[in-house]
Amino acid sequence: MDHFPIFLALKGQKVILVGGGDLAARKLRLLRKADAAVTVIAPTLCDEIKELVAGAHIGYEERKFHSSDVVGASLVFAATDIEAVDASVSHAAQAHGIKVNAVDRPDLSDFIMPAIVDRSPMVVAISSGGAAPILARNLREKIESILPPALGRLATFADSFRGAVKGTISGGNERRKFWEDFFDGPVAEAVLSGREVSAREKMLGLINLNWKEERKAGHVAIVGAGPGDPDLLTFRAMRFMQQADVVVYDRLISDDILDYVRRDADRIYVGKAPGKHSKTQDEINEILVQQAQKGLRVVRLKGGDPFVFGRGGEEMEVLQSEGIDVDIVPGITAAVGCAAAAGVPLTHRDHASMVTFVAGQNGDGITQADWSGLANNRQTLVFYMGISNADQIASKLIRHGLDRNTPVAIIENGTRPNQRVLPGKLLDTAHMVETHNITGPALIVIGSVASFASKADFQQIAAGAIENKNVALYLNEVAVAGL
């Protein structure tokens, strides 16, 4: 290890920054976050530093650097990108025993600046020792995308209860177990989700009641996994998936999605297909209740969004009636994700001012729909689960006044590598389904906007997405390796 990692307290400390260009601006941003007393020395300033100097209590000396400028400073930065000037600054600081950093000049520097992930008070610093700064930056970007934006708030929240926990739970080992459960539990999730008032109430209950008994109460997250492409998973969805003890999943959840689930989690398949139900809805509800009552962290993983034709509302009601805590994690619903992957805008100023989602199977949408209202040429219709009733859907719309030549797009396996986009006309919908042997999950998009499906080749738009490893999968591999 060529450089010793250390975090310095610079609040109120004198720091000299020599340089007024973009290099200096980058350093100034970080120094401001550390509340250092910065003085900038440079003949001219870039616009960003001018604004910072004008509004942020930063000193400025409009002149060239003198060796005496470093006297009394805690740190010195040379950021002029002029070799002779940066060398002069470095030599002056070192002559006075002051640590100096010359940007991109490790030979003139006593310390180097790491790539930083800032979730204050949580801060991650990454360094290659100057050998590969771009690699350090790339690693920082991966970590940035993994860590929740509210991680700092969670650390501050936990710190505010440290005294109460220490006064209530005796023994260091017991407190350690408490905090381990806290950071993986529903209270922390409430903080990360912005529900801090609710989190404080739950935290007080944990501390004042028997927290060991609370550990026995399970939790269910009903998670929308999106239309199929793993890159469309939300960070919150992946967080729950990687914390889960048990995952209950549907047939629309592909192996590519399941790769993001914690590897030692139990998996329970409850998929339903037309005429082939692995489990009834009542049986699924019972599984969720039983698993949660064992004290497990359960993820109910659904394709698309759980509250859009996903029966997530029904499952939520059952769980809440049993006193089980439930989190709902929205996903990109199939209509939105698949239409985008097919190049079809669901709304467009020149084509459609509204969009309607319709359940296309008997008993839900076909027999109950307001066909007169649906047969409107200024809106977009998206039929879920309508392939087996494509002929009936088209006939009813035409009968109620929608032009038989209205554009239609059938999107099969939307966002996935085997996506197919089939453009056509309303009167040909059933023929398209039969001719092209539509068997995978598919949507029928009807309306003027469907004409966009024939204007670009989006057939394989998702093909490369799954080949590229997502950050969450990378994190999962690191966790399993124990790194």
Question: Is 73 annotated as a binding-site member?
Answer: no
Residue 288, pLDDT above cutoff 50: yes
250 is catalytic: yes
Of residues 142, 137, 116, the one with CA closest to residue 475: 142
Q: Of 280, 306, 332, which residue constitutes the final position of a domain?
A: 332
The secondary element (H helix, E strand) that includes residue 88 is helix 83-95
Query: What's the rounded Cα separation, in Å, for the pair 477 and 204?
Result: 35
Q: Of 113, 144, 174, which residue constitutes the final position of a domain?
A: 113
Residue whose token pair is 């008032």: 197
Residue 401 structure tokens: 């006044």
Query: What's the rounded Cα separation, in Å, for the pair 203 and 438?
Result: 51
Residue 37, pLDDT above cutoff 80: yes
Residue 273 zone, left/alpha/beta (φ > 0; ψ -120 to 50; rest): beta
Q: Are residues 326 and 411 in the same domain?
A: no
Which residues neighbour 395 within 8 Å (Cβ) at sequence distance 6 or greater? Answer: none
Helix-strand-coil percent breakdown of the chain, rounded to 5? 45, 20, 40
Question: Is 409 annotated as a binding-site member?
Answer: no
Q: Are residues 256 and 281 in the same domain?
A: yes
What would the DSSP string read from start to end of 54-82?
HHTT-EEE-S---GGGGTT-SEEEE-S--
Looking at residue 50, what is its pLDDT?
A: 94
Q: Are residues 311 and 359 in the same domain?
A: no
Q: Which domain holds residue 362?
A: 338-454
Question: Is 360 annotated as a binding-site member?
Answer: no
Question: Is 234 annotated as a binding-site member?
Answer: no
Question: 182: pLDDT confidence band, cut at 50, 70 and 90?
Answer: confident
pLDDT digits (tens, 9 = 90+) for 358-369: 988 764 557 678
Query: What's the rounded Cα separation, in Å, for the pair 391 and 230?
Result: 33
Q: How many CA atoms lie within 13 A of 16 on its CB side?
A: 28
Of residues 370, 389, 374, 382, the one with CA closest to residue 410: 382
Query: What's the rounded Cα separation, in Å, for the pair 351 and 436?
Result: 27
More confident residue, 440 or 82: 82
More confident residue, 196 or 173: 196
Number of structural domains in the chain: 3
Q: Is residue 63 part of a domain?
A: yes
Of residues 90, 80, 86, the one with CA closest to residue 44: 80
Cα separations in angstroms, 281 against 215, 223, 398: 28, 17, 34
User: Which amino acid is residue 368, in one-letter code?
Assistant: Q
- Selecting among 250, 302, 327, 425, the annotated active-site residue is 250
Looking at residue 463, what is its pLDDT?
A: 38
Of residues 180, 306, 287, 289, the one with CA closest to residue 236: 306
Q: Is residue 236 part of a domain?
A: yes
Tell me how crowded residue 337 is: count the other CB atoms within 10 A of its CB.
24
Of residues 211, 210, 202, 208, the one with CA closest to residue 177: 211
Q: Is residue 81 part of a domain?
A: yes
Looking at residue 367, what is its pLDDT?
A: 67
Residue 300 structure tokens: 């109910």
Question: Is 441 annotated as a binding-site member?
Answer: no
Q: Of 90, 113, 136, which residue constitutes the final position of a domain?
A: 113
- Selecting among 50, 99, 272, 279, the annotated active-site residue is 272
User: Which amino acid is residue 210, in one-letter code?
Assistant: N
Residue whose token pair is 């949580």: 122
* Cβ–Cβ under 8 Å, residues 287 and 248: yes
Residue 448, pLDDT above cutoff 90: yes
Q: Are residues 354 and 307 in the same domain?
A: no
Question: Is 483 annotated as a binding-site member?
Answer: no
Q: Are residues 225 and 320 in the same domain?
A: yes
- What is the CATH number for 68? 3.40.50.720
Cα separations in angstroms, 219 against 46, 66, 263, 264: 53, 64, 19, 18
Q: Is residue 151 part of a domain?
A: no
Q: Is residue 196 part of a domain?
A: no
Q: Are residues 319 and 414 in the same domain?
A: no
pLDDT digits (tens, 9 = 90+) for 258-271: 999 988 899 999 98
- What is the CATH number for 265? 3.40.1010.10
Q: Are residues 358 and 325 in the same domain?
A: no
CA angle (451 as vertex; 446, 457 as ends), nearest 5: 120
Looking at residue 54, what is its pLDDT?
A: 87
Q: Is residue 126 part of a domain?
A: no
Q: Give the whole-number percent of the chain exceeding pLDDT 70.
A: 90
Question: Is 1 annotated as a binding-site member?
Answer: no
CA angle (253 as vertex; 441, 308 as ends), nearest 5: 65
Question: Is 303 annotated as a binding-site member?
Answer: yes
Residue 275 structure tokens: 């005429």
Q: Is residue 293 part of a domain?
A: yes
Q: Are residues 323 and 357 in the same domain?
A: no
Question: Is 275 annotated as a binding-site member?
Answer: no
Question: Is 191 annotated as a binding-site member?
Answer: no
Cα separations in angstroms, 166 against 122, 154, 172, 458: 22, 18, 9, 58
Dihedral sign of CA atoms 34, 38, 43, 49 in order: positive
Question: Is 133 annotated as a binding-site member?
Answer: no
Helical pair 196-208 and 172-183, crossing angle rounded to 10 deg: 150
Q: Is residue 282 part of a domain?
A: yes
* Cβ–Cβ under 8 Å, residues 18 and 76: yes
- What is the CATH number for 383? 3.30.950.10
Q: Are residues 291 and 372 in the same domain?
A: no
According to DSSP, residue 338 is labeled: H
Q: Are residues 308 and 264 in the same domain?
A: yes
Query: What's the rounded Cα separation, in Å, for the pair 425 and 448?
Result: 10
User: Lowest-pLDDT range, 79-93, 114-128, 220-234, 455-469?
Assistant: 455-469
Of residues 372, 383, 465, 464, the one with CA closest to residue 430: 383
* Cβ–Cβ under 8 Å, residues 380 and 354: yes
Q: Across 316-464, where does the E strand assignment appear?
A: 325-329, 354-359, 379-384, 407-412, 420-425, 442-446
Helical pair 196-208 and 151-160, crossing angle rounded to 10 deg: 40
Query: What's the rounded Cα separation, in Å, for the pair 429 and 423?
Result: 9
pLDDT digits (tens, 9 = 90+) for 377-398: 889 999 999 999 999 999 999 9
Q: Are residues 313 and 375 in the same domain?
A: no
Of residues 21, 118, 130, 158, the one with CA closest to residue 77: 21
Residue 340, pLDDT above cutoff 90: yes
Full-model pTM: 0.70
Question: Is 238 annotated as a binding-site member?
Answer: no
Question: Is 432 annotated as a binding-site member?
Answer: no
Cα separations in angstroms, 369 against 38, 359, 360, 399: 67, 9, 9, 14
Q: Are residues 318 and 360 in the same domain?
A: no
User: Which amino acid is residue 213, in one-letter code?
Assistant: E
